[in-house]
Amino acid sequence: MEILIWIILMTVIDGLLALVGVFSLWMNDRLLRKILLILVAFSAGALLSGALFHLTAESFENFSVMAVFIYILAGFSLFFIMEKFLYWHHCHDGKCDVHPVSYLLLIGDGLHNFIDGVIIAASFFVSVPFGILTSFMIFGHEIPQELGDFGVLVYSGMKKTKALAYNFVSQLTAVLGGIAGYLLSSSVQAIVPFVLPFAAGGFIYIAASDLVPELHKEPKISKSLLSFLFFIAGILFMLGTKFIFEQ
């Protein structure tokens, strides 16, 4: 029961992140861009660090080195396919090219969040601290993504309140994924060793394909340096938590 409470708590928090889009309504473009740059940089570092130092390191306890790398590449490849064919794109400045796929974006995002919920559930079956760390890794990339998705929906003609509500419902599928993962606990516990390196591959894909390229779009050296410092801060944060929880 304790694990279920943790899973629901973390997936509900993940769902509430969809509401961050409301804060962008009162920000000018310059301030929003600066905040997003920091969030994206920190998230990129945290995702890479978490994927390597936590998920991959844990995976080596269950599989050979070659098997771990194969599962990581499988996760990386699946996230690539999902983004390519289901438009699971992560726009971080609210000014993406608009396509007539707003509802498809919401459906794809809902499936993505459902999988996030299953990953959160699986991580708690490893341990509560490990589950919390994995949840925070997911939170890290969700914030800039939700800001971007909200901007895309509004820019495509959807009313702000409707965009916020639809985005929130899409994000709440993480709770369903978490509960499903718990109810199928026997199956989930059996596949946890496979889920961890698979999730690591997905997080590496998000960081390398969606987040880092956004940082390269900043032409100013001073802002690029700032983003790099927050990128390093994200790495050090996840590395620090590893040593703290292993003590």
Domain parsing of the chain, residue ranges: 28-238
User: Rounded distance, CA 244 to CA 242, Å?
Assistant: 5
Distances (CA, A) of 182 to 2, 66, 123, 139, 202: 11, 29, 11, 20, 21
The per-residue pLDDT for 98 is: 43
User: Rounded distance, CA 94 to CA 103, Å?
Assistant: 17
The per-residue pLDDT for 231 is: 92
The per-residue pLDDT for 237 is: 83
Phi, psi of 47 (to 5 degrees): -65, -45
The per-residue pLDDT for 92 is: 47
Place of tokens 């703290």: 244
The per-residue pLDDT for 157 is: 67
pLDDT < 70 stretches in the chain: 24-29, 32, 85-105, 107-108, 144-145, 147-149, 151-157, 188-189, 244-247
User: Rounded distance, CA 16 to CA 85, Å?
Assistant: 27
How much is the pTM?
0.69
The per-residue pLDDT for 88 is: 46
The per-residue pLDDT for 171 is: 86
